[in-house]
Every structure is written in structure tokens, then in C-alpha cells.
Amino acid sequence: MQGGGRLPGMVTQRRRSSSASSAVTPRRSGQIEIDPAKDLISEVGRKFAKRALCVFAHPDDLEFTSGGTVARLCAEGWRVDIIVTTSGNKGTKDPSVTGQMLAGEREEEARNAAAILGASEPVFLGFHDGGTANDDELRALIVRHIRRSRPELVITWDGFRPGFNHRDHRVAGQATYDAIYPSSDDHLYYPLDKEEGLEPHRPAAMLLAGGGMAGPGAADYHVDISGHFRTKIRAILAHTSQMGGRTEADMVRMYEERRAQAPEGDDPSLPPLRESFTKVIFRR
């Protein structure tokens, strides 16, 4: 599993001191353990706080990879904030459409989708589609948001998976990973945040989306979204500029066909009724 192996020091690192605890979250003495034998989302929500942050690259990334999971979180009382690093201002074959027009349209679609899922209004960082880099500017913005919204669960692209991947997906995943460790919980990174009262913070866990696309066994955490499947479809369809006039019935049929192609005897909770991630647990 990539999560623990990428940063060997991560899972054994101890919280430096109680000074890093949040002004929002009550101060804790000692270390709170996440039981790996139990469901990660339930564990985080029960032992920490029901606050999640999703960091994706394009306005519809979240809905396709994690829409059912976010719908489930919202239905279970979580606050889910969303960062989108670009506004999806490329990707049209219509020569009369400018990047600015497309960005405005896609931001509006993402706001509608977030409302369907029950999440907060997305924050757009405004980088150009295809032009993001895992640099200090992007990491500073993500760290700032983490310190402000103090998520305990972060959902982002798996920026480390092998094989074909969009540059912006890779960058969003890696920058988010780097923003959480080592930056967001260390006051010496981006010290100006403190002047605004933003204290260091480290989330309890992270889910990396898209890992399952790298092949069987690449993902180690699966969310049953059967109770939220229609909500996911409606959120995907909110991205009307990308959906080519498809209807909810078209989408259900498409997913059912895909499901029917699954090998017999395979896990009954196969996609599309399941979303798969690689999990990363941070100790603090």
C-alpha cells in the first residue's frame, strides 16, 4: 500500500506538543488512535470531528471519484469543504467559447453539484487548467485552507499512482500530501497565517482517490455508496457542459451495464456502488 510506505516516518511520528492543537477542537492529552480494524470514516468522525476537506483539480473530479462518499458524509452530519485548484477553463471543441466563459460556467456547475451533495460551496484557487505545479504558492494556499477549516479527513487525488494520469490530478494529490506533511502542522511553514489567528493543524486521515484505477489491489478502502448512488449521479449531471445532454436514466443504464460486465462471483459491492481509495492515517 502506497500510503504508509511513501513516508515511513509519518505513521510513527508523535504529536510534538499540545500547542499544535486547534482552537476549534478541544485540546487533548495523549494520542488518539484510529483502530485500523474499524471503518476509517466512522473512526475519524467518532474520535476526532466530522470535518472533511476535498482537494481536486477540476470542477467535476470530486463527483466522479468521490461523489457518493461525500454524499454519505454530508448525510451523516459531516461538514465537507471543497477546494478546486483550477476552474476547468480548457476542454471544449467549440471555437467560440473562451477559457473565461468556460471557467465561469464550470464554477457554477460545481456550486450546483456541491449543493446536491450537501457540501459547502467550493473554493476555486484559479490556476489555469493544465498549468498547475506542486510549488510553494499552491501548497501555501492549501495549508491556509487546512488551518482555517481544520479538517480531520482529507480526500484528494492519488498523486502517486502509476499509469496514465492528468497532470493537474497528480499535482493536486501531491501538493495536498505535501501541504499536510510536513507543512500544515508546523508553525514555521507559512508563519504569516498566524497573524490571522490560523493555528497549525494536522488532519487525522486522508483518502486518495483514483488509486483503484491503477489496478486490482491498489486501493485498500472501499465506501459502499449504494444509498447515495442517485445523489452522485445527479451531482455528476449538474456538470451539464461536460455531460453531452445525458439524463439520469442514461447514467443509471450506463452504470448498470458496467456492473453487469463484472466477473461472476466478484465482490457484490463493485463499482458503481462502491468508491475506492488508498487510505493514509496520520498520527499526531
* CA-closest candidate to residue 181, choices 149, 165, 161, 205: 205
Instruction: Work out how close the CB of 210 gets to Zn ion at its nearest, in angstroms, rounded to a whole number.
Output: 10
Count of residues of this chain found to bind Zn ion when the rule CB under 5 A is applied: 3
Q: Which is nearer to Zn ion, 61 or 152 (by Cβ)? A: 61
Contact string 16-55 vs Zn ion (x = CB under 5 A): ----------------------------------------
Dihedral in degrees, nearest 10, Cα atoms 227, 233, 239, 245:
-160
Q: Is 170 in the site for Zn ion (CB under 5 A)?
A: no
**Taking CB positions, which residue lies at the least distance from Zn ion?**
58
Q: Which is nearer to Zn ion, 43 or 168 (by Cβ)? A: 168
Q: Is 161 in the site for Zn ion (CB under 5 A)?
A: no
Q: Which is nearer to Zn ion, 58 or 139 (by Cβ)? A: 58
Distance of alpha carbon 35 from alpha carbon 16, whole angstroms: 21
Phi/psi of residue 131, each to 5°? -120, 15
Instruction: Work out how close the CB of 58 gets to Zn ion at its nearest, in angstroms, rounded to a whole number.
Output: 3
Residue 130 neighbours by CB under 8 Å, 6+ apart: 86, 90, 167, 168
Instruction: Work out how close the CB of 110 gets to Zn ion at its nearest, in angstroms, rounded to a whole number.
Output: 12
Stretch that binds Zn ion, among 56-64, 100-108, 135-143, 200-208 (CB under 5 A): 56-64
Stretch that binds Zn ion, among 33-41, 58-66, 228-236, 270-278 (CB under 5 A): 58-66
Q: Is 193 in the site for Zn ion (CB under 5 A)?
A: no
Q: Is 129 in the site for Zn ion (CB under 5 A)?
A: no
Instruction: Work out how close the CB of 41 gets to Zn ion at its nearest, in angstroms, rounded to a whole number.
Output: 23
* CA-closest candidate to residue 176, choices 221, 150, 143, 217: 143
Q: Is 61 in the site for Zn ion (CB under 5 A)?
A: yes
Distance of alpha carbon 63 from alpha carbon 55, whole angstroms: 12
Q: Is 274 in the site for Zn ion (CB under 5 A)?
A: no
For residue 265 the three cell numbers come to 462471483
Q: Is 239 in the site for Zn ion (CB under 5 A)?
A: no
Distance of alpha carbon 57 from alpha carbon 84, whole angstroms: 5
Among 40, 44, 45, 58, binds Zn ion (CB under 5 A): 58
Report whether the peptide linkage leading into residue 182 is cis, meaning its omega lies within 30 degrees of zero: yes
CB-side neighbour CA atoms (13 Å) of 189: 22
* CA-closest candidate to residue 281, choices 17, 16, 39: 39
Instruction: Work out how close the CB of 172 gets to Zn ion at its nearest, in angstroms, rounded to a whole number.
Output: 9
Residues forming the site for Zn ion (CB under 5 A): 57-58, 61
